[in-house]
């Protein structure tokens, strides 16, 4: 697994920490992985259709 660094506003960190305190997530990494997984699932149709790749290619040609 690769590491990435992300800067988040204090309110987001406090909300994540609260979910950890409540036992919903074991740690911040698991929360972030779950959030990213959910977004990838949400956009999976676009990924399958190649719409995101086309959008990226279009934006990099500017």
Quick one: pLDDT band at residue 5, thresholds 50, 70, 90?
A: very high
Residue 61 has pLDDT above 60, yes or no: no
Is position 5 within any domain? no
Has residue 1 been placed in a domain? no
What is the tens place of the pLDDT at every residue in 14-47? 999 999 999 999 999 999 999 999 998 888 877 7
pLDDT at residue 12 in the model: 98
For residue 55, the model assigns a pLDDT of: 64
Domain contains 34 = yes
- CA angle 40-43-48, nearest 5°? 105
In a domain, 56, yes or no: yes
Does residue 32 sit within a domain?
A: yes
Residue 2 lies in a domain: no
Dihedral sign (CA 52, 53, 57, 60): positive
The answer to whether residue 16 sits within a structural domain is yes
pLDDT above 80: residue 48: no
**Measured between alpha carbons, how far is 49 from 23 in angstroms, rounded to an integer?**
37
Per the structure, how many domains does the chain have? 1
> Residue 50: which domain range?
10-60
Distance CA 42, CA 26 (A): 23
């Amino acid at each position: 697994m690769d590491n990435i660094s992300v800067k988040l506003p204090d309110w987001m960190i406090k909300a994540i920490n609260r979910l950890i305190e409540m036992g919903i997530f074991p740690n911040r990494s698991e929360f972030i992985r779950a959030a990213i997984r959910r977004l990838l699932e949400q956009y999976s149709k676009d990924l399958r259709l190649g719409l995101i790749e086309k959008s990226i290619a279009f934006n990099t040609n500017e």
